[in-house]
Amino acid sequence: MKKGFKDFDIDLKYGQIKEQKVKDMFENCTIEVKSERNWWKKTGNIAVEYEYRGKPSGIYATKSDYWFHRLEEGAEEFCTLVFKTSTLKKIVDKYKDKLTKNVGDNKASKCVIIPIKEIFSKEFYSDKMSQV
């Protein structure tokens, strides 16, 4: 057997399991899709709304199982970040006291402003995250 191919069957099985999980996400789960145009590219942040005019909205109002956060350049999709809704709620809970910004018309929406690079850092997923 060639070097590098010895675990192909294991890798293939793993890949098929993960493909089925993504398929199930679309067929058996509910999703919410939010799009962010250009602002993320200028600032390096994403904004996750959790309150509008004093009432729960966005992540705190959704009933979805998954939250798709589309990052767009103009009218084109750059990429989509996919979160389990319960995980994104924990992230918002953890950071809303220090990273909240009022945005939109009349600054009526409260959003957690999350640096994109933080989402992929080890520190972001500390043991404390699981305690929230």
Give the number of domains in the chain. 1
Rounded to two decimals, the pTM is 0.80
Q: Is residue 121 in a domain? A: yes
Q: What does the pLDDT profile of the chain (132 residues) look like in tens digits?
A: 455 556 767 788 888 888 888 888 888 899 999 999 988 999 999 999 999 999 999 999 999 999 999 999 988 999 999 999 999 999 899 889 999 999 989 999 999 999 998 888 777 666 545 554
Total residues belonging to the chain:
132
Q: Is residue 20 in a domain? A: no
Task: Return d(Cα 118, Cα 66) in angstroms, integer.
Answer: 20
Q: Is residue 64 in a domain? A: yes
How distant, in Å, are the alpha carbons of 6, 75, 83 from that of 32? Answer: 40, 19, 10
Q: Where are the alpha helices (DSSP H) in 1-132?
A: 8-28, 39-43, 85-99, 116-119, 127-131
Q: Is residue 18 in a domain? A: no
Q: Is residue 102 in a domain? A: yes
Q: Is residue 13 in a domain? A: no
Q: Write out the residue range of the structural domain in which residue 91 sits.
A: 29-127
Q: Is residue 4 in a domain? A: no
Q: Is residue 117 in a domain? A: yes
